Amino acid sequence: MRSGRRTLLALVAAVVALGAVASCSTDPVGDENRTVTAGPVIYPLSLRYHGIDVVADVPYGSDALQRLDVCLPADSAPDTTRTPTPTPGGTASATADEVGADTAGDGSTSGAGTSGAGVAAAGAGAADDGTGAGDGDAAGADTGDAAVAEAASGTRPAVLMIHGGSWSHGDKATAAYRSVCKYLASEGFVTFNVDYRLAPTDPFPAGLDDVRRALDWVFRPTTLSTYDVDSKRVGVFGGSAGGNLAAMLAVTDHDSTAYAEGDRIRAVVDLSGPTNLTTRSTEADGVSAAFQRKQLLYLGCRTYSDCPAATRASPEYHVTSDTAPFFIGHSTDEFIPLWESQEFAATLRRHDVPVTFVAVEGSAHSIAQLDEAMSKRVATFLREHLD
């Protein structure tokens, strides 16, 4: 009898355990929270990537900082190392100085320009492409470009990568960001590592306009065909200030011309991105006085009390149900408060946006979180949503 009772208790315990496992497995895919311990090194910097070509300094606009590098997967076709040249439709809608832009890093002649009727300047309204074309001409160009883009769309997933630096410094070609670019390429993603105009010379929304312009350039038919990019498999990645810009691209994506034409962001990786640049960030648990000054320089404001740009530049206030899935990484004790990403993740979830949130124990900021395990998490997330 006692043996039978023990057997019955064991069966009950097993059923309870299975129920607990089943309840865990019903969580939405990608909608999770984890706290992890980071490894001791920046993993992408510790590796050498064989066969990864980098096409350097490809222009996506006429400004000196409107340049990007392209990190290509090892099995890319040989002709993907060239700079795209414009299609007839693309030439018609590009400005003269963009069509005649000088050579890229490999010496190829570039014809990079804007897509359709110009860049949608997120948070600031649509920007004129400088052609002076009438509305009817622009609509016709958009329709033609959309058809060409559909035909030109390639087979590979792609990621637009945005460097950090408090919106005031930093560079796509620094060793750290170049290594992350190569790492993503080694995982099969055509990676566009972008520079953008910097504050205080060019305050908000200049940097955001630039990365939107770069993303529109990625969706151009010539870019898609040159680098074999599938227009339905494009994501964005950013760290620190770049995380803020990547998040802003995503939460305002539904306002862009490209989105209306079916080209949209499908996945977002945000590492330590500031998400609330309003007076909330100046409270006792907010950012330091030094970083507050950097934010104000970026926003083009003297004080937070009189700064309409603060809300416009904060991803927290622009989330919609159309926003792409997010991977958010943030350290527990870094100089950007953890609550910024926690509150942003909560806002995304309130809008039914899938979120993977990983809190990294310690003070590692931005891409310094990318040890081997975190790097694999990022690649897995991108692969799941850009597959």
pLDDT score, position 112: 35
Read off the pTM: 0.79
pLDDT at 152 > cutoff 50: yes
Residue-wise pLDDT tens digits, 221-251: 999 999 999 999 999 999 999 999 999 999 9
Distance of CA 117 to the CA centre of its chain: 23
pLDDT at 79 > cutoff 80: no
Q: How confident is the model at residue 40 (pLDDT cuts 50, 70, 90)?
A: confident
pLDDT at 123 > cutoff 50: no
- At 171 the three-state DSSP class reads coil
Strand ranges across the sheet with 268-271: 32-37, 355-361, 326-331, 268-271, 229-239, 156-162, 190-194, 67-72, 53-59
pLDDT score, position 84: 77
Element (H, E) at 98: helix 96-99
Residue-wise pLDDT tens digits, 287-302: 999 999 999 999 999 9
Q: How far apart are CA 119 and CA 83, in angstroms?
A: 20
Determine contact, residues 310/299, Cβ cutoff 8 Å: yes
**Ramachandran angles phi, psi of 229, nearest 5°:** -95, 135
pLDDT score, position 276: 98
